[in-house]
Chain A
Amino acid sequence: MEIVHVDTKLRREFGPPALFSDRIEELLLDLHPDPSLAAQFIQKTHRDQAVQACRQMSEHQINTERFQSNSCGLNHVEGGWPKDINPNEMEQTIRFRKKVEKDDGYINSILQLGSVMEHRIKQNNSIDIYQQYFDEEEEVEEIQEPPSAKTINVFRDPNELKRTITGLSWHPDGGRKLAAAYSCLEFQKTSRNTSLDSYIWDIENPNHPEVTLKPASLLVCLDYNPKDSHTLVGGCYNGQIAYWDTRKGSQPVEYSSMEHSHRDPVYKIIWLQSKTGTDAFSASTDGQILWWDVRKLSEPTERLVLDPSREGNLDRALGAISLEFEATMPTKFMVGTEQGLVVSCNRKAKTPAEKIVCTYDGHHGPIYALQRNPFFPKNFLTVGDWTARIWSEDIKESSIMWSKYQMSYLMDACWSPVRPSIFFTVKMDGMLDIWDILFKQSDPTLSLKVCDKPLYSLRVQDNGRLVACGSQSGEATLLEICSGLSTLQKNEKSLVAAMFERETKREKILEARQREIRLKERSRSEQSKDDETGREDDEEDSEQLIAKVESDFYSLVEAEFRRRQRREETPQEHNKEVKNGVETDETEDETGETRK
């Protein structure tokens, strides 16, 4: 469509037509420059000045919309036939093919490719190049790294006066919490200011204990209930048993009554397997083992006096220091005593006399730790004096395996719950030893110095990787063991079983031999009295020897005493002889005592 603009004007408004004519020019104005005006101006120096005469622009950035591209393949069903050939027509395709076949390039290619291909085909036919070799050894053995353990956390006693950690217990579900019992076991070392609290620590938070337990007297030991992770039972220094429920606060829910409790500190308390899940038993150096039902702590449900003569005589009872209970054998338990005996007891015996089944004598000092191997319950570990010993239940005369005498006292030990050949011990010099009996029996596989103070207690968490140890200064150190020591190796169980069997057999043979020798001697003595007296002489000789040594000792002491008296009376002679004195004195002395 054309756009048209129309202007209209009346003819009479136009006016007359314009008539143009020439005219002579006239000068209207002629203005000349006035030089005097220049005096009012100063000539300026030349200066360069840039001038830009262009359009002003501003800078902008823009992002174009992303171009979405998708890669996909095209499937030619019928490959790219040239345009003129219709793929459906047989004749055309055949003709095309024939043409290609005549091509030189084609011939050469095929000949060359053919030879290559033949080679490969023959290769395939001769051997199976895809055969799986080394099928069985598919698992690559990890590089055996040296065993190690590293400290993860240290939980310190928040009180001023540090107390020893004498008992540790891991939380039963997953072990995220550690309960530690703090007490002072040294006789009369507790001052009035010593705090009585014991703590439950969350292992992630070493700064502040999660729960504080406030007993009436220092807690020597405590144990989490494996069935109910909120309840704990603890044994106090004054012999009472206290029962806590962490949901109910820091104060114990119940205490056992004073009259029926132990007379000595309760050294160990363990929960039992029962239908109600409320049974525990405790041991103390007063010679009693008491069974409790935590719902009614006023009186123990059962009592056992550790009298080796089986008479229940409290005076002759052995003081118990450690207890052992394995959930898989609920009627049997073992007690480690101060005198170095391990007493194996049967709870279900009809008469109290039969409760004590047998004793194992092996240590020279109190047995501080006693635990059955979680994989081989017939073998148990004891720790006392300066050695750790492994026993078999069948052999009562001696332990089947033992470590050599260590440099310091061993205070606690436990088996690793995941590996039957590993156990841990702690010593008075602050060292934690990890023993692997399959690897080395004479020395610990790994020795770590945890702290400078003696370590009193040790507990391994159920996963076998975390170990907590408590020291005299109230520090609980949490260590993580390297995976090599906490994962079950192949054949380990069978190897350990074989080792225990071997050692047990050895002991049995030795025992049998001993019995034989004794029988022979006895039969020989029956034949002739001389032999008998000879045997007695031998025995007496040992007594005589002791008497002789004693008298020798006393005579030497008296001789020395007399000599000293003489010297005091004649100091001058002594001074003259001082120079020669040393030599002569040495020659005089039989025992080689050096004079100061």
Chain B
Amino acid sequence: MAEVEETLKRIQSQKGVQGIIVVNSEGIPIKTTLDNSSTVQYAGLIHQLVLKARSTIRDIDPQNDLLFLRVRSKKNEIMIAPDKDYFLIVIQNPSA
């Protein structure tokens, strides 16, 4: 429990990190550092994106699996680390 907190705190303290969200496989945000409305928005949208990405990779090659997903936009970068049951979403602004 404490390690989890520590990990998340460490990530939060990295340069440029704007927010962290932990989402479970059903799309429910478990832990977040952003406000509720943004969290809910991110969780819902990114959840679908990850599922789609994962299914794409697996359709192309069933032995393959999605490891990491980066979505770079003009303003920032959304990094998603998927797992079997949960995803970890981090929003970072690298130039800041």
Contact = CB atoms under 8 A, between A and B. Distances in A.
A164 B41 CA distance: 82
A64 to B, nearest CB: 28
Contacts, number: 105
B70 A125 contact: no
A121 B30 contact: no
Contacts of B27: 76, 79-80
Contacts of A120: 68, 70, 79, 81
A97 B36 CA distance: 14
Interface string B1-34: 1011001101100111100001110111111000
A424 to B, nearest CB: 52
A120 B91 CA distance: 12
A116 B70 CA distance: 13
Interface stretch (A49-57, A105-113, A569-577): A105-113
Interface in B37-61: 40, 43-45, 47-48
Interface in A85-105: 96-97, 100-102, 105
Q: Chain B's interface: helix, strand, loop or mixed, by majority?
A: mixed
Given A113-B83, A121-B11, A130-B72, A101 B31 contact: yes
Contacts of B44: 75-79
A118 B4 contact: no
Interface core residue of A106, A116, A120, A124 (most chain B CB under 10 Å)? A124
Contacts of A130: 72
A114 interface: yes
A110 B7 contact: yes
Nearest to B81: A113
Contacts of A588: none
A117 interface: yes
Given A101-B30, A121-B92, A79 B8 contact: no
B66 interface: no
20 contacts: A75-B44, A75-B45, A75-B48, A76-B47, A77-B44, A78-B40, A79-B23, A80-B27, A80-B28, A96-B28, A106-B30, A107-B1, A110-B4, A110-B88, A114-B8, A118-B7, A120-B68, A125-B15, A125-B16, A128-B95
Given A81-B26, A106-B30, A121-B11, 16 more contacts: A75-B44, A75-B45, A76-B27, A79-B40, A97-B30, A107-B1, A109-B84, A109-B86, A110-B4, A117-B90, A118-B11, A121-B17, A121-B92, A124-B77, A124-B92, A125-B94
